[in-house]
């Protein structure tokens, strides 16, 4: 007799209630789990006094059954019960929680509300994007049951070394929603699959998806300030409804409840094409807002546990969105860990970027902890051990931890200083050369003990200007957001190249094109992990809006016509990415040491100016050049070509004397943003003449490669 033949002895009901056959459930795993003959429901609350399971036929306005958890179904603070014979594909479930309503001590129980399971693996009720909800619905976000099996066909997370990654930050809907995308189901996971050939041709090996956990696009929705009948929506999605459920409306099959399979199919396909998947996760707050917000789940299940509360029971607002998830409460910490483990193991996710991660290091009353248990748990977790963990190392409460985020040897950071210093260098600011040298090396000044891979380098991300706007606007133009241009950051370090916004002036447009190329060239020869925003490779503009969180329209939707219209920029970016992949000397895992430790006669990195070997570190300098020694690639374990990069952010052309190469080697031209052609196919770079000097145009970057 095999295991399979041996019937379980706990598959029979022990209780009945109104015709439903029941038995005591198992507390673990939390959530709703299919078991032989039935469904195991398990939910915990530290302060509730009773719990009732509420069952709906899919989509029906009223429940068809309410089953209280019998006292003997409660283990500790966990309510666990198996309900037999459910039509598991056609039901939705929720809970009612009984308990005290006393906000002054943190309790907001309300038995009249039906609550979403925080561990719901799929959520129905808002299956199609932008369809206005029925506000009279008594239960908006409905827990659904899912199969957790999937045919992965041998897939596993790719584990691309961090230093080899090129990250493409993208919005699921925005990537293909535009009519020009030509996909069958615009704005969905399935549509991204159709565009994988584009991503492959671009050369990125990692996509970072803006939030895909179920969120409410109608959260904070309001009329567009001047376009009649149009709404501003919560487009970015940084307010989570359910941490375990992919957003149904991002799935072409969401209306059928198949978002889990659809997203897994996307991950599998991206992996098969060598592309990792990182998720932007938001554990700093939820969609429930402050005391005026909706009661969806956490507030009604265990308000005091899930939220950081002031001594008189109001919500701390370190996230700038109304509430703050109480991440260093042991229960919430476990939920976050359960959540990430679930995505890593069940969805094969390669890593996570944590929104406003500084909050995760605050204690339950908001004080920054020196040894935050949540960050430590994540860093040492065995299931997450190979996942990328990337922090947005600041929060809206004023905690700025770039360079000081508690890393435990594991965490990387969005390097805000890279963005700021490099943007200022790009526009020609002075007093920056020392800082720029640090940024180009992976910011050893910030991450001395953590290596360059702690630094995720970027010029632009979803938050702020796009690259095209960075070189087209001096000021933000956020009027379309309806706040009179008061929202969004004011420290963009942008420069419009002479005219604010679009222009027909060919000189201005040529300069903008060159500046965009300069940014990509510098980004892709910097040590650390490069990241750029979807569409920057084809010059997507948000018309100067630097905070498009609410714009579900062409401001955010990628116009695929730009692939042709900006083919020149796209080809340049493709070649710069290919160049990075081709040269391990650009991708050291450990910091450069600025001396020769392999006996090549050259330090691993050397600094130059208009005179070779003499960098101009003065406050008025706008130029820098560096050479990487090919014998020091990957800390001296690999031999690569020599690489020389000259960045002239001065407005006029300057002659750069070139450092000499070892006997028999010659400089070859890979890229010159101030010339035509701007870049060559890596491996086919022509030999440079003359070899000893090069005229670098104003606001231009030149990249040379030295070999025999």
Q: Which of 39, 53, 167, 190 binds other proteins (CB under 8 A)?
A: 190
Determine, following the binding rule CB under 8 A, whether residue 557 of this chain makes contact with other proteins: no
CB 534, CB 174: distance < 8 Å: yes
Retrieve residue 88's tokens: 């598991």
Counting contacts by CB under 8 A, is residue 89 touching other proteins?
Answer: yes
Q: What is the rounded distance in angstroms from the CA atom of residue 329 to the CA atom of residue 44?
A: 14
Which residue in this structure is represented by tokens 């409804």?
Answer: 241
Per-residue tokens: 424? 């200022």
Kindly state the smallest distance separating residue 127's Cβ from other proteins, in Å: 14
Contact between 65 and other proteins by CB under 8 A: the answer reads no
Active site residues: 355, 392
Nearer to other proteins, 197 or 690 (CB): 197
- Among the residue ranges 14-22, 248-256, 477-485, 639-647, the one whose residues contact other proteins (CB under 8 A): 248-256
Select from 56, 168, 189, 532 the one that contacts other proteins (CB under 8 A).
189
- 378-398: string of b/e by CB count within 10 Å (b at 16+)? bbebeebeebbbbbbbbbbbe
User: Closest distance between other proteins and the C-beta of residue 208, in Å?
Assistant: 22
Near other proteins in 378-397, by CB under 8 A: none
Task: Name which of 15 and 195 has its Cβ closer to other proteins.
Answer: 195
Which residues 6+ apart lie within 8 Å of 406 measured at CB?
Answer: 361, 370, 371, 372, 375, 376
Q: 191 or 460, CB closer to other proteins?
A: 191
- The DSSP line for 446-498 is T-TTT-GGGEEE-S--SSS--HHHHTT-SS---GGGTSTT-SS-S------TT
User: In this chain, which stretch among 103-111, 184-192, 220-228, 600-608 interacts with other proteins, using CB under 8 A?
Assistant: 184-192
Q: With respect to other proteins, which residue has the nearer C-beta, 269 or 568?
A: 269
Q: How far is the CB of 95 from other proteins (least distance, A)?
A: 23
Do residues 299 and 108 touch, judged by C-beta distance below 8 A? yes
Beta carbon nearer to other proteins, 183 or 374? 183
| Cα gap 216→238, rounded to integer Å | 9
Q: Are 385 and 159 in contact (CB under 8 A)?
A: no
Q: How far apart are the first and last CA of the chain?
A: 70
* Alpha-carbon distances of 577 from 176, 281, 328, rounded to whole Å: 23, 26, 40
Q: Measured from the CB of residue 258, what is the shortest distance to other proteins in angstroms?
A: 5
Percentages helix, strand, coil for the chain (3-state, rounded to 5) are: 25, 25, 55
Q: Which stretch binds other proteins (CB under 8 A): 25-33, 83-91, 405-413, 447-455?
A: 83-91
Answer for which of 121, 268, 333, 622 binds other proteins (CB under 8 A) is: 268
Size of the site for other proteins (CB under 8 A): 25
Which part of the chain contacts other proteins (CB under 8 A), choosing from 265-273, 313-321, 367-375, 561-569? Answer: 265-273
Regarding 147 and contact with other proteins (CB under 8 A), the answer is: yes
Residue 75: other Cβ atoms inside 10 A: 15
Nearer to other proteins, 93 or 572 (CB): 93
Residue carrying structure tokens 């009661």: 295
- In the bound state with other proteins, the residue whose beta carbon lies nearer, of 150 and 408, is 150
Judged by beta carbon, residue 258 or residue 563, the one nearer other proteins is 258
Which residue in 10, 85, 102, 151 binds other proteins (CB under 8 A)? 151
The Cα–Cα gap between 275 and 268 comes to 10
| Shortest distance in whole angstroms from residue 265 CB to other proteins | 3
**Residues 462, 468, 474, 480, Cα dihedral to 10°:** -60
Instruction: Give least dist CB 267 to other proteins, A.
Output: 10
Token pair 């391990």 is found at: 584
Q: Is 85 in the site for other proteins (CB under 8 A)?
A: no
Q: In the stretch 480-509, what mask flags binding to other proteins with x, by CB under 8 A? A: ------------------------------
Question: Is 425:417 a contact under the CB 8 Å cutoff?
Answer: no
Among 5, 71, 149, 689, binds other proteins (CB under 8 A): 149
Q: CA of 290: how far to CAs of 109, 294, 299, 360, 469, in Å? A: 15, 8, 10, 19, 34
Q: Does 146 bind other proteins (CB under 8 A)?
A: yes
> By C-beta, is 189 or 411 nearer to other proteins?
189
On the CB side of 651, CA atoms within 13 Å amount to: 5
- Tell me the CB-side half-sphere exposure of residue 569, using CA atoms within 13 A: 25
In angstroms, what is the minimal distance from the CB of 183 to other proteins?
11
Element (H, E) at 512: helix 506-525
**According to the binding rule CB under 8 A, does residue 583 interact with other proteins?**
no
Which lies closer to other proteins via its Cβ, residue 152 or residue 483? 152
Q: In this complex, which beta carbon is closest to other proteins, that of residue 147 or of residue 651?
A: 147
| Per CB under 8 A, 188 contacts other proteins | yes
Of the candidates 36, 61, 184, 611, which one interacts with other proteins according to CB under 8 A? Answer: 184
64 binds other proteins per the rule CB under 8 A: no
Among 88, 198, 218, 408, binds other proteins (CB under 8 A): 88
Judged by CB under 8 A, the stretch of 180-188, 216-224, 325-333, 674-682 that binds other proteins is: 180-188
What whole-number distance in Å separates Cα of residue 123 and Cα of residue 56?
A: 13
Q: Strands, DSSP E only, in 305-355?
A: 351-354
Q: Does 156 bind other proteins (CB under 8 A)?
A: no
User: Which listed residue (199, 251, 399, 534) binds other proteins by CB under 8 A?
Assistant: 251
Phi-psi region of 408 (alpha: psi -120 to 50; beta: other; left: phi over 0): left
Are the C-beta atoms of residues 141 and 121 closer than 8 Å to each other?
Answer: no
Question: By C-beta, is 144 or 304 nearer to other proteins?
Answer: 144
**Binder of other proteins out of 66, 110, 164, 269 (CB under 8 A):** 269
User: Angle between the 416-426 and 506-525 helix axes, to the nearest 10 degrees?
Assistant: 140
Between β-strands 91-98 and 78-84, what pairing exists: parallel, antiparallel or unpaired? unpaired
Q: Does 376 bind other proteins (CB under 8 A)?
A: no
In the complex, minimum distance from the CB of residue 659 to other proteins, in angstroms, rounded to a whole number:
52
Closest separation in Å from C-beta 262 to other proteins: 5
CB of 190 to other proteins, least distance (A): 4
Contact between 32 and other proteins (CB under 8 A)?
no
Binding other proteins (rule: CB under 8 A), the pick from 166, 170, 265, 432 is 265
**From CA 535, how far away is CA 170, in angstroms rounded?**
9
Cβ proximity of 82 and 38 under 8 Å: yes
- Is residue 261 part of the contact set for other proteins (CB under 8 A)? yes
Among 39, 53, 252, 470, contact with other proteins (rule: CB under 8 A) = 252
Query: Does 245 contact other proteins by CB under 8 A?
Result: no
- In the complex, the smallest distance separating the C-beta of residue 338 from other proteins, rounded to whole angstroms, is 23
316 vs 321: CA distance, rounded Å = 10
**For other proteins, which residue of 42, 234, 253, 319 counts as binding (CB under 8 A)?**
253
Q: Which three-class secondary structure string do you get for 535-574?
A: CHHHCCCCCCCCCCCCCCCCCCCCCCCHHHHCHHHHHHHH
* Contacts with other proteins, residue ranges (CB under 8 A): 87-90, 146-147, 149, 151, 184-185, 188-190, 251-253, 256-258, 261-262, 264-265, 268-269
């Amino acid at each position: 007799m095999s295991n399979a033949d041996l019937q379980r002895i706990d598959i029979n009901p022990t209780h009945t209630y109104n015709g439903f056959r029941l038995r005591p459930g198992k507390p673990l795993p939390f959530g709703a789990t299919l078991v032989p003959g039935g469904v195991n429901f398990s939910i915990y609350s530290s302060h509730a006094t009773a719990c009732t399971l509420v069952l709906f036929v899919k989509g029906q306005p009223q429940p068809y059954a309410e089953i209280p958890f019998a006292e003997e179904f409660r283990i500790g603070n966990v309510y666990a019960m198996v309900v037999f014979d459910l039509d598991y594909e056609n039901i939705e479930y929720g809970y009612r929680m009984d308990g005290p309503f006393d906000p002054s001590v943190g309790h907001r129980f309300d038995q009249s509300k039906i609550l979403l399971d925080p561990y719901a693996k799929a959520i129905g009720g808002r299956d199609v994007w932008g369809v206005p909800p029925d506000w009279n619905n008594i239960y908006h976000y409905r827990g659904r049951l899912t199969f957790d099996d999937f045919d992965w066909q041998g897939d596993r997370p790719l584990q691309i070394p961090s230093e080899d990654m090129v990250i493409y930050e993208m919005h699921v809907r925005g990537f293909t929603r535009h009519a020009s995308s030509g996909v069958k189901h615009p704005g969905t996971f399935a549509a991204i699959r159709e565009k994988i050939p584009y991503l492959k041709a671009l050369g990125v090996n990692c996509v970072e998806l803006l939030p895909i956990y179920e969120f409410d696009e109608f959260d904070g929705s309001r009329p567009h300030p001047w376009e009649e009948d149009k709404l501003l929506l919560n487009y970015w999605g940084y307010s989570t409804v359910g941490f375990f459920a992919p957003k149904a409306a991002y799935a072409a099959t969401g209306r059928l409840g198949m978002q889990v399979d659809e997203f897994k199919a996307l991950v599998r396909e991206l992996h098969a094409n060598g592309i990792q998947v990182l998720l932007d996760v938001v554990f700093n707050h939820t969609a429930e807002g402050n005391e005026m917000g909706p009661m969806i789940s956490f507030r009604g299940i265990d308000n005091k546990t899930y939220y950081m509360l002031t001594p008189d029971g109001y919500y701390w607002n370190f996230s700038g969105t109304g509430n703050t998830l109480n991440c260093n409460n042991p229960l919430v910490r476990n939920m976050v860990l359960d959540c990430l483990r679930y995505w890593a193991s069940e969805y094969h996710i390669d890593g996570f970027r944590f929104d406003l991660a500084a909050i995760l290091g605050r204690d339950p009353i908001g004080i920054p902890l020196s040894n935050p248990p949540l960050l430590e748990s994540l860093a040492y977790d065995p299931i997450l051990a190979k996942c990328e963990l990337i922090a947005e190392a600041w929060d809206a409460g004023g905690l700025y931890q770039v360079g000081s985020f508690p890393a435990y040897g594991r965490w990387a950071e969005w390097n805000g200083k890279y963005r700021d210093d490099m943007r200022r260098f790009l526009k020609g600011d002075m007093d920056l050369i020392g800082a720029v040298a640090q940024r180009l090396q992976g910011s050893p000044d910030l991450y001395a003990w953590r290596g360059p891979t702690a630094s995720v380098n970027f010029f632009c991300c979803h938050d702020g200007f796009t690259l095209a706007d960075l070189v087209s606007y001096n000021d933000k133009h956020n009027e379309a957001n309806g706040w009179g241009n008061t929202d969004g950051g004011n420290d963009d370090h942008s420069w419009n190249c002479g005219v604010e916004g679009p222009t027909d002036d060919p000189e201005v447009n040529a300069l903008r094109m060159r500046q965009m190329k300069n940014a990509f060239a510098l980004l892709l020869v910097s040590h650390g992990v490069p990241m750029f925003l979807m569409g920057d490779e084809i010059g997507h503009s948000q018309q100067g809006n630097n905070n498009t969180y609410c714009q579900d329209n062409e401001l955010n939707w990628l116009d695929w016509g730009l692939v042709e219209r900006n083919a020149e920029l796209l080809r340049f970016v493709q070649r710069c990415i290919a160049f990075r992949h081709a040269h391990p000397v650009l991708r050291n895992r450990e910091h450069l040491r600025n001396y020769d430790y392999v006996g090549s006669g050259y330090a691993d990195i050397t600094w130059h100016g208009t005179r070779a070997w003499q960098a101009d570190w003065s406050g008025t300098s706008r130029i820098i050049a560096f050479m990487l020694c090919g014998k020091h690639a990957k800390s001296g374990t690999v031999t690569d070509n020599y690489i020389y990069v000259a960045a002239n952010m001065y407005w006029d052309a300057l002659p750069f004397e070139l450092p000499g190469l070892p006997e028999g080697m010659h400089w070859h031209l890979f890229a010159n943003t101030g010339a035509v052609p701007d870049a060559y196919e890596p491996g086919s770079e022509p030999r440079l003449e003359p070899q000893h000097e090069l005229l670098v145009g104003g606001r231009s970057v030149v990249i040379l490669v030295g070999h025999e």
